[in-house]
Amino acid sequence: GESVGLHLPTLSVQEGDNSIINCAYSNSASDYFIWYKQESGKGPQFIIDIRSNMDKRQGQRVTVLLNKTVKHLSLQIAATQPGDSAVYFCAESKYGNKLVFGAGTILRVKS
């Protein structure tokens, strides 16, 4: 069945460093991928998305890379700040269907 998984359950980085969070997906038919940030006690917050016809998309301090050959998605956060500490989820979707989420990666930023 469909699944989206993450390689690292916890990532600790020093403030100011760049962070890279990885995700593997299994459904090659998925055409839409999203990264969400979830802080304690809150709902997931949209960070950035990418469609399957792209391999890179940049936002403010964030970049998402999509490698369809190996079904891999990554989120890069530049100059990581303490406020970036949260759980990060990748999710995939096909033709407007349900979002399939992975288990999440905890990002801890050390000051």
In angstroms and rounded to an integer, the radius of gyration of the C-alpha atoms of the chain is 13
Question: Residue 18 corresponds to which tokens in the numbers above?
Answer: 């760049």
Q: How is residue 92 annotated by DSSP?
A: E
Parallel, antiparallel or unpaired: strands 86-93 and 72-77: unpaired
Q: Which residues bind other proteins (CB under 8 A)?
A: 4, 31-32, 34, 36, 41-46, 49, 51, 89, 91, 93, 95-104
Residue 82 phi, psi (nearest 5): -55, -35
Minimum Å gap between C-beta 76 and other proteins is 20
Minimum Å gap between C-beta 57 and other proteins is 13
- For tokens 């979002």, the residue is 99
Cα separation of 80 and 48, whole Å? 16
CB closer to other proteins, 9 vs 16: 9
CB closer to other proteins, 74 vs 93: 93
Minimum Å gap between C-beta 77 and other proteins is 19
CB closer to other proteins, 13 vs 99: 99
CB closer to other proteins, 5 vs 16: 5
Minimum Å gap between C-beta 14 and other proteins is 25
Cα separation of 3 and 61, whole Å? 28
